[in-house]
Amino acid sequence: MPLSPEAFGRMLDQTGLSLTDAQKSVLFDAYPLFQAMLARATAPLPREAEPATVFVADIR
């Protein structure tokens, strides 16, 4: 369910920040980009993406 500008404004008001309507509008426009970035960053990674459990340094 998409977030309405009014609901987003209420969420911002709860932070205690004193933002103008123009500032709230800019943040609302960036909100979908932030949500997409958050979804990519928190997606579970496959086991192959984990670092190796054993690391052997090649020291000469």
Q: What is the value of pTM for the model shown?
A: 0.62
State the amino acid at position 57 in one-letter form: A
DSSP helix/strand/coil, 12: helix
Instruction: Enumerate residues 6+ apart whose C-beta is below 8 A from 28.
Output: 5, 8, 9
Q: Please give the average per-residue pLDDT across 35-57, as a whole number.
A: 80
What's the structural domain count of the chain? Answer: 1
Range of the domain at 16: 1-60
| Residue 7, pLDDT above cutoff 70 | yes
pLDDT at 52: 67
